[in-house]
Amino acid sequence: MEQANSNRCKAMKPDGTQCARIPSVDSEYCWQHQPQARFQVSKWLKRLTIWGLITVLLATIGFYSDLISLGFRLPYLTSSTNVVDTLEISRIRRIDDVPITLSPTWALTSNGTVSTGIVPHFWQLFISNNGDSQMSVIDYKLARVEDEESPIIDYSGMNQGMFWLNKDNELVQVEFPINIESGESLEVFVKAGVMIHPLSYRLIKDINFGEREISLLEVNDTLRAKRLDLFGNQLEEIAEGAGYTYPELSEIKDETFRVSFITARGFSDSKLLSQYGLGGLYDEALSR
């Protein structure tokens, strides 16, 4: 064995190849050593391994930081997405002592077109925030309807704006959005142009509305003296100077409107307004 080993002659060639003579097989076995290259590869592998571990560690820290941050924000996010605006329209009342104007127009009847007029009506109402957070009212809509289920009827001069009282107690146009804190209410006034009966129009068209301020109360008094109202309803005098009786609510002619308010979160509420029904003469809530 020792002789065999001694017969293995190792030699180094110029290109770095080492060879050994193996007499037992009468051949030469050669190989090339690159210890420096192996050292460099090993060094880079170690560096990559270290950077990989650092990257994984940083990613793990970032992941848990996000989880902790989400844990703090989750109650807020959950409560924000579950916020419900509790909007309510209440305490509706028609206002008759506001100065008005008469706008001539025409109406299409079974007998053709007839001349009539549009008289503005004001309704006072309150928008209430019955929820637990601030509510932002971004818009309102006004439409003439026959009842709650009927389609919308629109005409020129019907929606005449939304108002509130300024510090000088003057009616000024509302600017949206309106922010209402939880538990608070806001007083506003809806102005609707009401198309009156042609006969009523003929009785009041000669009143000089431009000469002085004339209220709806005065217009109604003028018509009541003729035993008539704005919508052509016949009135009966109880006694001279004692007042007048009106037809029953189920039989009386009236104009009905639906007002709706919409919040920034998409919630809404709507109520009916009329001369004799809700907010008017026959509204039981106003008599309590």
Q: What is the pLDDT of residues 141-177, one digit of tens each?
A: 999 987 666 666 778 899 999 999 999 999 999 999 9
Average pLDDT, the chain: 79
Q: In this structure, what token pair is assigned to residue 277?
A: 């029904």
Q: DSSP 3-state assignment of 246?
A: coil
Q: In this structure, what token pair is assigned to residue 252?
A: 């009386």
Q: Which amino acid is at 97?
A: D
Contact 96, 222 (CB under 8 A): no
Confidence band, pLDDT 50/70/90 cuts, at residue 278: confident
Q: Residue 251 and residue 18: Cα distance in Å, rounded?
A: 121
Say if residue 122 is in the same domain as residue 22. no
Domain that holds residue 257: 87-287
Residue 265 lies in a domain: yes
Residue 66 lies in a domain: no
Q: In this structure, what token pair is assigned to residue 9?
A: 């002659």
When pLDDT is averaged across residues 111-120 and rounded to a whole number, the result is 89
Q: What is the pLDDT of residues 45-86, one digit of tens each?
A: 556 566 666 676 666 666 556 655 555 554 544 445 578 899
First to last CA, the chain: 126
- For residues 111 and 234, which has the higher predicted lDDT (pLDDT)? 234
- For residues 121 and 7, which has the higher predicted lDDT (pLDDT)? 121
Cβ neighbors of 192 (< 8 A, separation 6 or more) are 120, 121, 123, 142, 144, 158, 159, 160, 257, 273
Say if residue 91 is in the same domain as residue 27. no
Say if residue 116 is in the same domain as residue 226. yes
Residue 144 lies in a domain: yes
When pLDDT is averaged across residues 167-195 and rounded to a whole number, the result is 95
Say if residue 233 is in the same domain as residue 110. yes
- For residues 270 and 79, which has the higher predicted lDDT (pLDDT)? 270
Say if residue 183 is in the same domain as residue 249. yes
Residue 62 lies in a domain: no
Residue 93 lies in a domain: yes
Say if residue 15 is in the same domain as residue 92. no
Say if residue 124 is in the same domain as residue 19. no
Q: What is the pLDDT of residues 24-56, one digit of tens each?
A: 445 555 545 555 444 454 555 556 566 666 676
Residue 122 lies in a domain: yes
Residue 259 lies in a domain: yes
pLDDT at 5: 44
When divided into structural domains, the chain yields a total of 2
Contact 145, 260 (CB under 8 A): no
Say if residue 20 is in the same domain as residue 135. no
Say if residue 107 is in the same domain as residue 23. no
Residue 198 lies in a domain: yes
Q: What is the pLDDT of residues 1-20, one digit of tens each?
A: 444 444 444 555 555 555 55
- For residues 77 and 180, which has the higher predicted lDDT (pLDDT)? 180
- Give yes or no for residue 119 having a pLDDT over 80: yes
Say if residue 146 is in the same domain as residue 8. no
Say if residue 26 is in the same domain as residue 158. no
Say if residue 131 is in the same domain as residue 194. yes
Q: What is the pLDDT of residues 196-226, one digit of tens each?
A: 999 999 999 888 776 777 899 999 989 999 9
Contact 158, 142 (CB under 8 A): yes
pLDDT at 166: 94
Q: What is the pLDDT of residues 219-268, one digit of tens each?
A: 998 999 999 999 999 999 887 766 888 898 889 999 999 999 999 999 99
